[in-house]
Amino acid sequence: MPTELTGLTELTGDALRERIATELTASRRRTHALTTDVLDEAELSAQHSPLMSPLVWDFAHVGNQEELWLVRDVGGREPVRTDIDELYDAFQHPRTERPRLPLLGVAEADRYLGTVREKAFDVLAGAPLAGDRLTDQGFAFGMIAQHEQQHCETMLATHQLRAGEPVLDPPTAPVPWAPLPAAEVLIPAGPFAMGTSVEPWALDNERPAHQAQVAAFWLDTAPVSAGDYAAFIADGGYHDPRWWVAEGWAHRQRAGLQAPLFWQRDGDRWARRRFGRVEPVPLDEPVQHVSWYEADAYARWAGKRLPTEAEWEKAARYDPATGRSRRYPWGDADPTPELANLGGARLRPAAAGAYPAGASPLGVRQLIGDVWEWTASDFTGYPGFTAFPYREYSEVFFGPEYKVLRGGSWAADPVACRGTFRNWDYPVRRQIFTGFRCARDAAAGEGA
C-alpha cells in the first residue's frame, strides 16, 4: 500500500503561533504592495476588466473573511462590523456588479483591516491550536493567510489587465538553470498516495489521502515554452479544427482567438504587454495566458495530450525509491528561492528548464511555481471528501464546468502552493497565470 509523507515536522505552541503571525504579516504586506502603496483611490475603485473585482473589493474582502473566521468564529469575539458582510460575500454579487456596490472607501477599508488584524492577533495569542478541525495546528489561521495570498494573485491578474503606466517593479536577479537531460520523463505504472490527510493547512479539496492508480506515461520535463507555442500558431494551429474539441473550436471562433492573451504581432515576431510594458515574447519562457481549449489543442497538434490530475500529482510527489508521496517534488522541505519561482515578486515565469534543484525524483522540472498547469481533469471531490469549513470554498464548484490547474504560478505564495494543492477555473479563462505541459501514453512494455 503506498503511503503519504512522514517527513513533516509539526510546529507546536509558540513556534506555531510565531509562524502564523509571520504568514499573516507577509500576506498583509503583499496586499498593501498591490493596492495602497501603488495606486490611488480612483484606480483602486475602478474596474480594470469585467472579469475582475475593483481592487478595493479584494482589499476589504480579505479583512472581512479574517473577521468572519478568526475574530468571530475561532475567537468568539464581538463583530467589528456586520453591516458589510453582505457586500463582501462573493456569492451575493458577481464580479461585474461589484463596482456599483456602496463599497468602503480606501481609507475606511484600511482602518477596518487594521482593526480586524489587531483582534486576530489578540485571538492568536490565546487560541487553542488543537481540539477540532478548525483549530488543529492553527488551520483557520493558515486558511486565512492562504486566502489573502490567493487574492494577492488575483489582484496581480487585475494589475496585468489594467491599462496605464506601470506601477510594479520586478527584481532581475538571475535564476538557477541547467539544460534538460531529456525532453520527456517516463513515469512508471502503479499506485501512489494522492491527496493528503496530514498536511496541516491543506484545504478540504486536497483531502483525504487515497490510493490512485496510473498507467505508465511520458511527461514533458518542462512546461511548454512560448517558442514551442509560437510554432503551433505558425503552423496554422488556430485555423485547423482537427486540433480542437468541438466546444473549444466554437469558442476559438466566437472569441476570435489568434494567440495567447496579451500577445501582439511585431513584424514577424511576437510582443506582449506585461504589467504595462510591451516587450518581445521571451521564447524560452513557459507560455502563459492560454485557455484550457488552447492548451488542449496544442497538445493534440503535438501528438500528445494534457496529463490527468492524478498523473500530474504522481509525477510531482511519487518517490520510486521509497514508494512515498512527498510534499513537494524536491522533498518535504518548504520552498526556497533556489527550488521554485513563487511569491509574485518576479512578475514572470523563469525560463523552461530553470530550478534544476527543484526537480522531482524522476527529474521533472518546474512542477511547482512558474505557471499554473492545466490538467485534463474536471474538478471533483476525492473519495471520502467532506466540505470544510464551508461548502463555498470548493464543493459548490465540483462538476464538469471547471478544469483543475496544478503546481502554482510565479504569483502564488508558498503558503498557498504544494504538491497536493488544487486550483480550478473555466476552460475559457486566460487572465490567470496559466500554462501547461503535455503527456503521452507509454508504449506496451515501457515503464510497466
With beta carbons less than 8 A apart as the criterion, state whether 111 and 175 touch. no
Other C-beta atoms lying within 10 Å of the C-beta of residue 274:
19
> Which residue, 23 or 220, has its beta carbon nearer to ligand AVJ?
23
Q: How far is the CB of 143 from ligand AVJ (least distance, A)?
A: 10
Q: How far is the CB of 253 from ligand AVJ (least distance, A)?
A: 27
Q: How far is the CB of 265 from ligand AVJ (least distance, A)?
A: 32
Other C-beta atoms lying within 10 Å of the C-beta of residue 399:
10
Q: How far is the CB of 393 from ligand AVJ (least distance, A)?
A: 6
Q: How far apart are CA 270 and CA 421, in angstroms?
A: 33
Burial of residue 303 (CB within 10 Å: 0-12, 13-18, 19+) is exposed
> Which residue, 393 or 398, has its beta carbon nearer to ligand AVJ?
393
> Which residue, 237 or 427, has its beta carbon nearer to ligand AVJ?
427
CA distances from 422 to 374, 406, 416 (A): 11, 6, 10
Q: Which three cell numbers stand for residue 383?
A: 473519495
Q: How far is the CB of 221 from ligand AVJ (least distance, A)?
A: 27
> Which residue, 243 or 421, has its beta carbon nearer to ligand AVJ?
421
Which residue number places its CB atom closest to ligand AVJ? 150
Give the list of residues 6+ apart from residue 377 with CB closer than 8 angstroms, or none: 308, 309, 310, 403, 404
Q: Which three cell numbers stand for residue 410?
A: 510565479
Q: How far is the CB of 424 from ligand AVJ (least distance, A)?
A: 6
Q: How far is the CB of 84 from ligand AVJ (least distance, A)?
A: 16
Tell which residue, 127, 116, 28, 114, has the closest CA to residue 79: 116
> Which residue, 230 or 411, has its beta carbon nearer to ligand AVJ?
411
> Which residue, 47 or 154, has its beta carbon nearer to ligand AVJ?
154
Burial of residue 202 (CB within 10 Å: 0-12, 13-18, 19+) is buried
Q: How far is the CB of 217 from ligand AVJ (least distance, A)?
A: 26
> Which residue, 228 or 425, has its beta carbon nearer to ligand AVJ?
425
Q: How far is the CB of 146 from ligand AVJ (least distance, A)?
A: 9
> Which residue, 263 or 421, has its beta carbon nearer to ligand AVJ?
421
Three-class DSSP category at 118? helix
With b meaning 16 or more CB within 10 Å and e meaning fewer, what string describes 121-149?
eebbeebebeeeebeebbbbbbbbbbbbb
| Binding stretches for ligand AVJ (CB under 6 A) | 147, 150-151, 154, 393, 423-424
CA distances from 243 to 257, 302, 383, 438 (A): 14, 9, 33, 14
Q: How far apart are CA 139 and CA 134, in angstroms?
A: 5
> Residue holding cell 473577521?
67
> Which residue, 107 or 396, has its beta carbon nearer to ligand AVJ?
396
